Amino acid sequence: MQKSGSAQWQGAIKDGIGSVSTQSGVLKDAPYGFKARFEGGPGTNPEELIGAAHAGCFSMALSLQLTEAGTIAERINTKATVTLEKDDTGFTITAVHLDVVARIPDATPESFAKAANAAKAGCPVSKLLNANITMDARLES
């Protein structure tokens, strides 16, 4: 399977503007730029897109782990916070923190923790990222 995304950029780094699109069309010419990335301006940025992709991938991976264990999730909410830091070589994504809250009937705290840790390690986006990935996972009753 192959999926694609594309980007277009015009102008200098600080006053230029770009747009991103996805193969599916869910994002089509969504604006991004320096202000959105570093100054809280309007538009998207690569880090929040990576966060959304990681949160979605992890949630699906957790659902897989739970299904294989014979448990079905009523709800999994995942927020992935991506940390971008500047070092001597430029900017680097150094960390991603997954904050997970799930409602899973019949799951024990132990079975949930086992499934969440397996999902964190096995999610394809986790495998892609060269970053420290941490997680807080809470099972709702």
What confidence score (pLDDT) does residue 23 get?
97
Q: At what angle do helices 109-122 and 46-68 cross, to 10 degrees?
A: 130
pLDDT higher than threshold 90 for residue 47? yes
CATH 3.30.300.20 domain locations along the chain:
46-140
What confidence score (pLDDT) does residue 58 get?
98
> Does the domain at residues 46-140 carry the CATH identifier 3.30.300.20?
yes
pLDDT higher than threshold 90 for residue 141? no
Of 31, 40, 38, the closest CA to residue 9 belongs to: 31
- The answer to whether 97 and 81 have CB atoms below 8 angstroms apart is yes
What confidence score (pLDDT) does residue 42 get?
93
Q: In this predicted model, what pLDDT tens digit does every residue of 16-31 receive, in sequence order? A: 999 999 999 999 999 9
What confidence score (pLDDT) does residue 55 get?
98
- Taking residues 39-68, what's their average pLDDT? 96
Q: In this predicted model, what pLDDT tens digit does every residue of 122-135 receive, in sequence order? A: 999 999 998 999 99
